[in-house]
Amino acid sequence: MDSLAVEIKVNIFTALLDLSDLKSLILTSTSFYGAFIGTKRLIIQEVVRNGLDLELVREISALAQSLRIKTWSREAVLEILGTYFSTQPNIKTYDWDVSTALDIYRIHTLAADFSADFASTALAKECITNQDGDSGPAPSTSELRRFERNFWKFELYCNLFRVRTPNHAPSKQDRFSPEEQKLIFFDHFAAYENEQLGCVHDYLWDQISRAFDDVAAHDVLWGAEWSIDWTDDYATGDASWKESLLSQGLARIKMMGNARTYEARYHLVQGQTPCPDFDDEFLVEGLSSEVMDGNDYAEELNDMTLEQARESSKTPLFPEPDDGPIVAWKWAYGNWYANCYFFSKNWFMRQRAYVMWDMDRLAFWGLFKSHRADFSELFDYAYEASSVAIEEARKSWEARSEIYVNGGRGWWSPNDLSRIEWPAGLKKRALLRLEAIPGCQTASNCC
SS (H, E, C) 263-294: HHHHHHHCCCCCCCCCCCCCHHHHHHCCCCCC
Give the chain's radius of gyration (CA, Å).
25
Do 65 and 97 meet the contact criterion of CB atoms below 8 Å apart?
Answer: no
What are the backbone angles phi and psi of residue 408, rounded to the nearest 5°? -80, 145
Q: pLDDT by residue (tens digit) across 398-413?
A: 989 988 888 889 999 9
Residue 172 has what pLDDT? 54
Query: What Å distances lie between residue 323 and 147, 309, 316, 326, 404, CA to CA?
Result: 16, 12, 12, 6, 56
Residue 168 has what pLDDT? 43
Q: pLDDT by residue (tens digit) across 69-125?
A: 888 889 999 999 999 998 777 666 667 788 888 899 899 999 999 999 999 999 887
| Counts of helices then strands in the chain (DSSP H, E) | 21, 2
Q: Is the pLDDT of residue 132 over 80?
A: no
- Looking at per-residue pLDDT, the higher value among 285 and 152 belongs to 152
* CA separation for the pair 60, 47 (Å, rounded): 14
Residue 434 has what pLDDT? 63
Cα 65 to chain centroid distance, Å, stands at 20
What are the backbone angles phi and psi of residue 291, rounded to the nearest 5°? -95, 125
* CA separation for the pair 238, 124 (Å, rounded): 29
pTM score over 0.95: no
pLDDT band at 437 (very low <50, low <70, confident <90, very high): low
Backbone dihedral region of 446: left (phi > 0), alpha (psi from -120 to 50 degrees) or beta? alpha
Listed in sequence order, the residues at least 6 apart from 164 whose beta carbon sits closer than 8 Å to its beta carbon are: 72, 170
Mean pLDDT for the chain overall: 82
* CA separation for the pair 406, 105 (Å, rounded): 50
